[in-house]
């Protein structure tokens, strides 16, 4: 039975934090509504939390959120995740992106989470845009694709209920592998300070036209 939903994120400018917390809280609420023992929700910034303080087990669902930088996962985020042991916890991996292309970031994040011992049961790329309007300069508060996040949360919660429904591990339904297209990137994006991320975000917004919508896989 699921007792905890833990959101962990890397978020230099704050948008991925909002996306991850929204996902974790919505899923936690849906699971809590049908759980006799209750479901707790906690969220952590990966870079500010000691990895030993976040404990995952088969009664936990992890929501792991990272931004797509030039179609990849930022290196400090990947390094922070590598220090965490998934211990077989179910995980939903989520990438935030500015509506251009998320490239291999979702594939990379899902693969990485599996290497850390998580059981990937779903993945989504959600638009988190700082563009006030097309081609304008950076807006302070990001707009997130709330509708897609809500749809994904509902569908993912149903899947979690099906998979976690049985107390005996051996009798539980085994999920089909989640298919996300992509390949491991050849090189990675290195450390970026929040200030540099905000400047880069402004440049990115001026160059970009929103092309793609959020998409998710279960």
Question: Binding ligand FMN by CB under 6 A: which of 4, 100, 110, 138?
Answer: 100
Tell me how many residues contact ligand FMN (CB under 6 A): 25
**Residue 198 is encoded by which pair of tokens?**
């905000």
Q: Which of 40, 120, 54, 51 is nearest to 88 (CA)?
A: 120
Establish if 104 lies at the interface with ligand FMN (CB under 6 A): no
Question: Binding ligand FMN by CB under 6 A: which of 67, 86, 122, 124?
Answer: 67
Establish if 68 lies at the interface with ligand FMN (CB under 6 A): yes
Question: Binding ligand FMN by CB under 6 A: which of 31, 61, 128, 178?
Answer: 128
Establish if 71 lies at the interface with ligand FMN (CB under 6 A): yes
Pair 5, 61: CB distance under 8 Å: yes
Q: Position of tokens 């849906």?
A: 30
CB of 63 to ligand FMN, least distance (A): 14
Cα 14 to Cα 141: distance, rounded to the nearest angstrom: 9
Establish if 79 lies at the interface with ligand FMN (CB under 6 A): no
Establish if 138 lies at the interface with ligand FMN (CB under 6 A): no
Question: Binding ligand FMN by CB under 6 A: which of 6, 11, 109, 120?
Answer: 11
| Contact residues for ligand FMN, defined by CB under 6 A | 11-16, 67-71, 96-102, 128, 130, 142, 197, 200-201, 204
């Amino acid at each position: 039975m699921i007792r905890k939903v833990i959101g962990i994120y890397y978020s230099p400018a704050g948008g991925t934090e909002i996306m991850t917390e929204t996902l974790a809280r919505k899923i936690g609420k849906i699971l809590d509504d049908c759980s006799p023992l209750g479901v707790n929700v906690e969220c952590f910034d990966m870079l500010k939390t000691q990895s030993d303080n976040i404990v995952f087990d088969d009664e936990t669902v992890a929501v792991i959120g990272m931004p797509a930088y030039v179609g990849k996962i930022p290196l400090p985020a990947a390094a922070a995740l590598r220090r965490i042991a998934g211990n077989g916890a179910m995980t939903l991996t989520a990438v935030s992106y500015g509506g251009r292309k998320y490239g291999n970031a979702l594939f990379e994040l899902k693969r990485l989470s599996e290497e850390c011992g998580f059981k990937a049961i779903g993945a989504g790329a959600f638009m988190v845009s700082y563009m006030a309007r097309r081609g304008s300069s950076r807006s302070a508060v990001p707009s997130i694709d709330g509708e897609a996040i809500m749809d994904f949360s509902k569908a993912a919660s149903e899947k979690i209920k099906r998979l976690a429904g049985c107390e005996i591990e051996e009798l539980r339904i085994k999920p089909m592998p989640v298919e996300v297209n992509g390949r491991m990137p050849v090189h990675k994006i290195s450390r970026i300070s929040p200030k540099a991320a905000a400047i880069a975000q402004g440049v990115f917004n001026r160059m970009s036209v929103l092309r793609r919508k959020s998409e998710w896989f279960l």
